[in-house]
A and B are shown apart, each in its own frame.
Chain A
Amino acid sequence: MSEPATNLAVALVGNPNTGKSTLFNALTGLRQRVGNYPGVTVARKSGTCDLGDGRKVELVDLPGLYSLAAASPDEQVVTDALAGKIAGERVPDVIVLVADATNLLRNLFLASQLAELGRPAVLVLNQADVAREQGVRIDTGQLSARLGGIPVVLASAWKGEGVADVRRAIARAADERRLLPTVVWPANIAAALAELTRAVATDTGRAVSSAEAQRLLFDTSATLPERLGWAKELRDPAIRAAREQVRRSGYNPLAAEPLVHYDRLRKALEGVVTEGAGKAGRTAAVDRLLLHRVLGPILFLGIMLGMFASVFWLAKFPMAWIQAGVDALKGVVGPSLDATPMLQSLVTDGLLGGVGAFLVFLPQILILFLFVGLLEDSGYMARAAFIMDRLFSWCGLNGKSFVPMLSGFACAIPGLLSTRTIEDPKARLATAFVVPFMSCSARFPVYALMCAAFIGPLYGPGWESAVMVGMHCVGLLVAVPTAFVLTRLVLKVKPQPFVLELPRYQLPKPRDVLWRMWQNAAEFISKAGTVIFAITLVVWALSYFPRDPGVADRVRAADPAASAAVLAARTQAAYVEQSWMGRFGKAVQPVFDPCGFDWKITVGVLASFPAREVIVSTLGVTYSVGEGAEADSGRLQQAMRDAKWSAGPRAGTPIFSLAAVLALMVFFALCSQCGPTVATLAQETGGWRWAVGSFLYMTALAWIVAALVYQLVSRLAPPA
């Protein structure tokens, strides 16, 4: 080190559930998602870590994985990052291996594979406090000696113990550059590896590392041959011959790697680790209750219902406060702009109205992510997947689809991102395809408005709740057959291996849970600040302009006897009707007529395609602009209840009949009305094909089902 190195790159690697992300937080001070559900770390997380000696390094938290045999996109990211195969990504100068001190043998399998990369390494024995509690004793000096003298550190990132030691160990590893000893392969396997390396060089002119040669020899699902550009007709006989050579040494070529590594590791750990007596006793006891045949599903349902009850009922209080705050702000700002009606309308209806109607749902998101964080960090999420797998497997998904789908009930974006933990690319695609059907929190405003305005007053709170729950199930009911058809007929998914670790139960770390909750909320707010805000403004402008000054006179002339208030309301309605949005909505309305949507609803539906939550503020604009300085939901509800068809066969009957209310809710439950979701789907499926397919499928389905609901209900329960 000739100069104070501030540009060392360090990578954090380890099995899932080792507390790797918590250690990352402790080392960098940056917070990020920390979970206990296997494979929760999917995004690239990096931060600056102070080594304590004046040096700073760039620390990257790589996704958790058990083996370098890359089956999932997550695992591929790790192998690529460590080999320096990701553009713009540096080959790490030091690899920090995070291992669970209570299960060292399995954790060291990955270390043993990583040795082939020939990078300086540090071994962190994390969760040392739990190991100590279980009576597991590890001789770190001996272990270091047997692992080529690399630094070996005991730590407990959860408790903040040993973090300074980890910093010092990284510094030492960067200076001393000691390597993990590579495995000594039996002669036939070594010869097979050499032969493969030679074959690649001859056929493609490229040199493969020893780590790559092993992937070629041992893996059946590796993407490496394609990426090397090694032609199938050349590589197949070469790999077959190499495997045949391995077989001659008595090893099954596909089992040789774990057999040789584990054999060597068992020897290396002899006399180093003293196993404790009471292993995982508490977790087993909790599992006896939480995974009980009868009690397990009951508790599972209880936990899920508790979560949703909290989201829907507990959130009502802060929601009311936010609503009151926004209304108060409108009351303060509105009158000061009386002199300039255009600016007044822009500020109160466009800006405050739009943002307020949207911010009000923030409490639900915070509460939901609080629960999701607690479930993940406690270790229950994996149990939920265990309990639910049977329900998902028959339709081609698996228990791991549960987390993305549950997340989808808050927002499809995190749900889509969490599909990366599903190994099988096809099942991943199917899960991603159905996640947008989950009733996200942005659909909630529509249900809430319709239920509060119509279902509740007409049929009572019991039916209001039932319709609420029913609407949240509509998407799920459509998603399951969609997944079935998709996986059986379109994607032809092979039943994918569902091997899931049920990790030790752990007390969630409040800081981690709260941080993740805030991160999700911040994402939601920033979405509000950009897409939603812009759309609200555009919708306001489209429904405000053009503003023909003659409209007021014409309304007055039509009915001179009407009171001033009625005249004002009619004037506003006339203004909206002849605005750009009103004209467009009227032109497109016949398309939505079979669903029972009038032109005002049509305007709302059209404006909601980029972001469905816009519907409430749009209806606020189309129904209550000019009915006062505020468009609070009570006024909006009344305006909607008063709305009647003005012409056609339904003239004089309420627009918002039971049939239309249900059709509208079903339409919003199924329609693809979220720009960010479509964009994320394109990103996660590697192209616009599936995103466009999803958009067309969801929208067509929404229209068909809404039309069916309207036609059916309006015949069964004709409007009075």
Chain B
Amino acid sequence: MTPLSQLLPGQFGKLASLNPERAVDQRLMALGLLPGMSLKLVRKAPLGDPLAIEFGGQVVSLRLAEAESLIVDVAADCPIQRPRPT
């Protein structure tokens, strides 16, 4: 269980939960991002924010702060990139 904002570019996952109270999450649900949906963090914008995520054959941009409520099950069959040592 990882917040989407902590995924690394290129990482896949399955949406575990979101917060329907939030306007962002409502928008994403209308686009088809519902629990159980596979998604991929495609990239971060050059300044680190916003994120581009891919799900259901579309690429959508959302801000880091807004991705906070999206909890993702990082796919087990996907090679998990280790965070770079800081």
Which A positions have Cβ atoms within 8 angstroms of B?
66-67, 69, 71, 102-103, 105-106, 109, 220-221, 252-255, 258-259, 262, 279-280, 283-284, 287, 291-294, 296-297, 382, 385-387, 389-391, 393, 399, 495-502
Query: Is B75 in the interface zone, CB < 8 Å from A?
Result: no
Is the pair B56, A103 in contact by a Cβ cutoff of 8 Å?
A: yes
Query: Is B57 in the interface zone, CB < 8 Å from A?
Result: yes
Is the pair A262, B47 in contact by a Cβ cutoff of 8 Å?
A: no
Which residues B49-73 have CB closer than 8 A to chain A?
49-50, 52, 56-63, 65-66
Which B positions have Cβ atoms within 8 angstroms of A?
18, 20-24, 26-32, 34, 42-43, 45-50, 52, 56-63, 65-66
Chain A residues with CB below 8 A from B34, complex form: 255, 258-259, 262
Q: Identify which of B23, B62, B63 contacts A71 (C-beta below 8 A).
A: B23
- A221 CB to closest chain B CB, in angstroms? 7
Nearest CB in chain A to that of B23: its residue: A497
Known: A254-B20, A258-B34, A497-B23. A390 touches B50 (CB 8 A): yes
Is the pair A389, B65 in contact by a Cβ cutoff of 8 Å?
A: no
- A127 CB to closest chain B CB, in angstroms? 13
Nearest CB in chain A to that of B33: its residue: A258
Is the pair B46, A389 in contact by a Cβ cutoff of 8 Å?
A: no
- A39 CB to closest chain B CB, in angstroms? 12
Chain A residues with CB below 8 A from B18, complex form: 255
A717 and B50 CA atoms in complex are apart in Å by 46
Q: Identify which of B20, B27, B45, B59 contacts A252 (C-beta below 8 A).
A: B20
A82 and B37 CA atoms in complex are apart in Å by 31
Is the pair A390, B45 in contact by a Cβ cutoff of 8 Å?
A: yes
Nearest CB in chain B to that of A17: its residue: B58
Is the pair B23, A262 in contact by a Cβ cutoff of 8 Å?
A: no
Is the pair B58, A389 in contact by a Cβ cutoff of 8 Å?
A: no
Q: Identify which of B28, B32, B59, B63 contacts A393 (C-beta below 8 A).
A: B63
Is the pair A499, B27 in contact by a Cβ cutoff of 8 Å?
A: yes
A496 and B62 CA atoms in complex are apart in Å by 11
Chain A residues with CB below 8 A from B62, complex form: 497-500
Is the pair A291, B43 in contact by a Cβ cutoff of 8 Å?
A: yes
Is the pair B30, A69 in contact by a Cβ cutoff of 8 Å?
A: yes
Is the pair A501, B59 in contact by a Cβ cutoff of 8 Å?
A: yes
Q: Identify which of B31, B46, B65 contacts A106 (C-beta below 8 A).
A: B31
Chain B residues with CB below 8 A from A280, complex form: 57, 59
Q: Which 10 A/B pairs are nearest by Cβ-Cβ distance?
A: A254-B20, A67-B30, A390-B47, A497-B24, A255-B20, A258-B29, A502-B59, A499-B27, A500-B61, A497-B23
Q: Could you jot down 20 A-B contacts, CB within 8 Å?
A: A66-B27, A71-B27, A103-B56, A106-B32, A220-B21, A255-B18, A255-B20, A287-B59, A291-B52, A387-B46, A387-B47, A390-B49, A390-B50, A391-B47, A399-B50, A399-B61, A499-B61, A500-B62, A501-B31, A501-B61
Known: A71-B27, A103-B57. A291 touches B46 (CB 8 A): yes
Known: A103-B56, A106-B56, A499-B60. A220 touches B23 (CB 8 A): yes
A496 and B63 CA atoms in complex are apart in Å by 10
Which residue, of A255, A279, A385, A393, has the highest number of chain B Cβ atoms within 10 A? A255
- A36 CB to closest chain B CB, in angstroms? 14
Chain A residues with CB below 8 A from B60, complex form: 499-502
Nearest CB in chain B to that of A296: its residue: B46
- A505 CB to closest chain B CB, in angstroms? 11
A508 and B20 CA atoms in complex are apart in Å by 37
Is the pair A254, B26 in contact by a Cβ cutoff of 8 Å?
A: yes
- B10 CB to closest chain A CB, in angstroms? 11
Chain B residues with CB below 8 A from A497, complex form: 22-24, 27, 62, 66
Is the pair A105, B56 in contact by a Cβ cutoff of 8 Å?
A: yes
Is the pair B57, A102 in contact by a Cβ cutoff of 8 Å?
A: yes
Chain A residues with CB below 8 A from B29, complex form: 255, 258-259
- B64 CB to closest chain A CB, in angstroms? 9
Chain A residues with CB below 8 A from B27, complex form: 66-67, 71, 497, 499
A391 and B50 CA atoms in complex are apart in Å by 11
A252 and B21 CA atoms in complex are apart in Å by 9
Chain B residues with CB below 8 A from A109, complex form: 30-32
Is the pair A389, B45 in contact by a Cβ cutoff of 8 Å?
A: yes
- B28 CB to closest chain A CB, in angstroms? 6
Known: A106-B31, A501-B60. A297 touches B65 (CB 8 A): no
Chain A residues with CB below 8 A from B21, complex form: 220, 254
- B71 CB to closest chain A CB, in angstroms? 14
Known: A109-B32, A255-B20, A497-B27. A389 touches B52 (CB 8 A): no
Nearest CB in chain B to that of A283: its residue: B59
- B39 CB to closest chain A CB, in angstroms? 13
Known: A103-B57, A279-B57. A389 touches B23 (CB 8 A): no
Is the pair A386, B61 in contact by a Cβ cutoff of 8 Å?
A: yes
Q: Identify which of B31, B47, B48, B63 contacts A498 (C-beta below 8 A).
A: B63
A106 and B31 CA atoms in complex are apart in Å by 6
Known: A106-B56, A389-B50, A499-B62. A220 touches B45 (CB 8 A): no
A279 and B62 CA atoms in complex are apart in Å by 21
Is the pair A498, B20 in contact by a Cβ cutoff of 8 Å?
A: no
Is the pair A393, B49 in contact by a Cβ cutoff of 8 Å?
A: yes
A502 and B42 CA atoms in complex are apart in Å by 11
Is the pair A386, B58 in contact by a Cβ cutoff of 8 Å?
A: no
Which residue, of A293, A387, A495, A499, has the highest number of chain B Cβ atoms within 10 A? A499
Sample of 10 more A-B contacts, CB < 8 Å, known A296-B46, A389-B45: A106-B31, A258-B32, A283-B59, A387-B45, A389-B63, A393-B49, A496-B23, A498-B50, A498-B61, A500-B61
Chain B residues with CB below 8 A from A495, complex form: 63, 65-66
Nearest CB in chain A to that of B55: its residue: A106
- A711 CB to closest chain B CB, in angstroms? 38
Chain B residues with CB below 8 A from A102, complex form: 57
Chain B residues with CB below 8 A from A501, complex form: 31, 58-61
- B67 CB to closest chain A CB, in angstroms? 10
Is the pair B32, A105 in contact by a Cβ cutoff of 8 Å?
A: yes
A382 and B61 CA atoms in complex are apart in Å by 9
A258 and B50 CA atoms in complex are apart in Å by 24
Chain B residues with CB below 8 A from A500, complex form: 60-62
Chain A residues with CB below 8 A from B26, complex form: 69, 220, 254
Chain B residues with CB below 8 A from A259, complex form: 29, 34
A221 and B65 CA atoms in complex are apart in Å by 20
Is the pair A502, B52 in contact by a Cβ cutoff of 8 Å?
A: yes
Chain A residues with CB below 8 A from B42, complex form: 284, 287
Chain B residues with CB below 8 A from A66, complex form: 27, 30-31
Is the pair B46, A293 in contact by a Cβ cutoff of 8 Å?
A: yes
Is the pair A498, B59 in contact by a Cβ cutoff of 8 Å?
A: no
Is the pair A106, B45 in contact by a Cβ cutoff of 8 Å?
A: no
